[in-house]
């Protein structure tokens, strides 16, 4: 098989290809696949966009985000990490897979977990290695650290994304990460920046300003400049990725749907991005409204890449008290996403294990189920059944 798949040509012709139906709840899993079966892609069928797995099944990405074993290494965890897993990621990750599949998740959305949130430091855990993804042995997305322009990042100076140094950095990132992942049929695609601050900032990182002056949005010449810079940014990143990995989907930046988003940035991304990804929090109505708007505007696959609603009143970020996933409203969001023909997935803002920074998860630090985890499982199984019927 020629591994250098032309995804855009595939999208245009995929409607004439046969495809199987999704089996629940683990249809997204490609653990038994080999590279001769191909890679994930996207296609339209029955009036909506779907993620298509290497076996040809039309699927809806039901992912869990934020999976970090350090949460069971607290002293209060009473030695679970050593006694149960023998200080081994290789022994722990199959347990993660077992739990995710049991709860109806069919992929890992984004593993990195927030570990400290203060005015001076806001850090995440490291990403998984190639070997760790193999031990996990289920479909996954991978975020590439191309630029620290996250809206939550307030320690790093922004580079000139039109300069030679950024080009060299992107080549290194692709050489280091993508070259190792390129033949893995379990990899779905690559994210870039989480909540990029293209034309917005927040109170903690306003010292470094947005990537581009939001005043540029007000004039034709300014909008042209936004488009020019963003075009270079996306082309540089994607050229680097495709140099080492021509096989996997480009899922691009994970835009903050509750902040200003420049349509010039999205227009610049259009030739390079296969799936447009959004973080969106708030009410069911807010999430549905924002995702429907961007899906209709883009007319391309969109992913709700990070979202949750707390069953406990949330008094801001970082959390001041322990929170809890609202399984009822999770189900309502999932139902709303079914109405959006461009939406091909929902990744729950986990976490897998509740740590002392995020203060919510599906397990506690003793690996006990949180009280709404079974409700989350029920929603996921119902969603998989909807996919089985709708994706045939």
Residue 31 has pLDDT above 70, yes or no: no
* Residue 352 resides in a domain: yes
* Residue 90 resides in a domain: yes
Q: How many residues does the chain have?
A: 392
Residue 232 has pLDDT above 90, yes or no: yes
312 contacts 321 by C-beta, under 8 angstroms: yes
CA separation for the pair 101, 105 (Å, rounded): 5
Place of tokens 């610049």: 268
The confidence band for 18, taking pLDDT boundaries of 50, 70 and 90, is very low
Q: What secondary structure does DSSP assign to 15-83, as a single string?
A: GGS--PPPPTTTTT--TT--GGG---EEEEETTEEEEE-TTS-EE-EEEEE---GGGG-SGGGTTHHHH
Q: How many domains does the chain have?
A: 1
pLDDT of the residue at 148: 62
pLDDT of the residue at 247: 98
Residue 54 has pLDDT above 90, yes or no: yes
The confidence band for 9, taking pLDDT boundaries of 50, 70 and 90, is very low
Helix (H, G, I), strand (E, B) or coil at 383: helix
Residue 166 has pLDDT above 80, yes or no: yes
* Residue 383 resides in a domain: yes
The confidence band for 158, taking pLDDT boundaries of 50, 70 and 90, is confident
The confidence band for 14, taking pLDDT boundaries of 50, 70 and 90, is very low
Owning domain of residue 242 = 61-390
Mean pLDDT of the chain: 88
Residue 125 has pLDDT above 60, yes or no: yes
* Residue 34 resides in a domain: no
More confident residue, 20 or 325: 325
pLDDT of the residue at 204: 65
Q: What secondary structure does DSSP assign to 251-306, as a single string?
A: EEEEEETTS---HHHHHHHTTT-SSEEEE--S-HHHHHHHHHHHHHHH-S-EEEEE
363 contacts 352 by C-beta, under 8 angstroms: yes
**pTM, full prediction:** 0.87
CA separation for the pair 337, 24 (Å, rounded): 19
Q: What secondary structure does DSSP assign to 121-144, as a single string?
A: -EEEPPPPPHHHHHHHTS-EEEE-
* Residue 217 resides in a domain: yes
Average pLDDT, integer, range 110-126: 86
Residue 156 has pLDDT above 70, yes or no: no
Q: Is 72 exposed, middle or buried (0-12, 13-18, 19+ CB in 10 A)?
A: buried
Residue 25 has pLDDT above 50, yes or no: no
Residue 151 has pLDDT above 90, yes or no: no
* Residue 346 resides in a domain: yes
Residue 21 has pLDDT above 70, yes or no: no
* Residue 79 resides in a domain: yes
Q: What residues have CB less than 8 Å from 229, skipping those under 6 apart?
A: 161, 162, 211, 212
Helix (H, G, I), strand (E, B) or coil at 219: coil
- What is the arrangement of strands in the sheet containing 58-59, beginning at the earlier edge strand? 41-45, 48-52, 58-59
Residue 361 has pLDDT above 70, yes or no: yes
What does the block give as tokens for 92? 């722990």
Residue 6 has pLDDT above 60, yes or no: no
The CATH number covering residue 321 comes to 3.20.20.80
pLDDT of the residue at 205: 60
* Residue 27 resides in a domain: no
């Amino acid at each position: 098989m020629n591994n250098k798949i032309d995804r855009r040509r595939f999208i245009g012709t995929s409607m004439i290809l046969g495809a199987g139906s999704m089996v629940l709840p683990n249809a997204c899993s490609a653990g038994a696949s080999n590279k001769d079966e191909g890679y994930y892609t996207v296609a339209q069928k029955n009036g909506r966009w779907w993620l298509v797995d290497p076996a040809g099944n039309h699927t809806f990405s039901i992912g869990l985000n934020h999976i970090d074993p350090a949460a069971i290494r607290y002293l209060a965890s009473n030695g679970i990490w050593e006694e149960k897993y023998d200080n081994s990621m290789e022994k722990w990750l199959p347990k993660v897979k077992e739990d995710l599949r049991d709860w109806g998740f069919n992929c890992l959305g984004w593993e990195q977990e927030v570990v400290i949130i203060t005015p001076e430091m806001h850090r995440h855990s490291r990403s998984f290695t190639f070997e760790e993804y193999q031990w996990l042995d289920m479909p996954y997305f991978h975020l590439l650290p191309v630029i620290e322009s996250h809206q939550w990042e307030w320690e790093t100076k922004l580079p000139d994304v039109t300069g030679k140094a950024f080009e060299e950095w992107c080549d290194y990132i692709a050489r280091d990460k993508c070259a190792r992942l390129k033949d893995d049929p379990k990899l779905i695609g690559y994210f870039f920046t989480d909540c990029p601050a293209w034309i917005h900032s927040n109170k903690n990182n306003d010292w470094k300003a947005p990537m581009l002056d939001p005043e540029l949005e007000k004039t034709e010449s300014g909008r042209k400049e936004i488009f020019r810079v963003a075009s270079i940014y996306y082309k540089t990143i994607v050229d680097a990725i495709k140099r080492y990995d021509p096989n996997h989907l480009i899922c691009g930046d994970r835009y903050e749907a509750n902040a200003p988003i420049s349509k010039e940035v999205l227009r610049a991304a259009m030739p390079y991005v296969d799936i447009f990804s959004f973080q969106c929090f708030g009410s069911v109505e807010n999430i549905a409204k924002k995702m429907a708007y961007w899906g209709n505007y883009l007319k391309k696959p969109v992913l709700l890449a990070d979202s949750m609603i707390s069953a406990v009143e949330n008094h801001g970020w970082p959390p001041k008290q322990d929170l809890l996933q609202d399984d009822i409203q999770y189900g309502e969001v999932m139902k709303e996403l079914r109405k959006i023909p461009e939406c091909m997935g929902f990744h729950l803002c986990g976490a897998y294990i509740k740590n002392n920074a995020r203060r919510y998860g599906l397990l506690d630090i003793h690996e006990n189920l949180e009280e709404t985890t079974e409700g989350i499982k029920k929603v996921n199984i119902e969603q998989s059944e909807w996919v089985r019927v709708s994706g045939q």
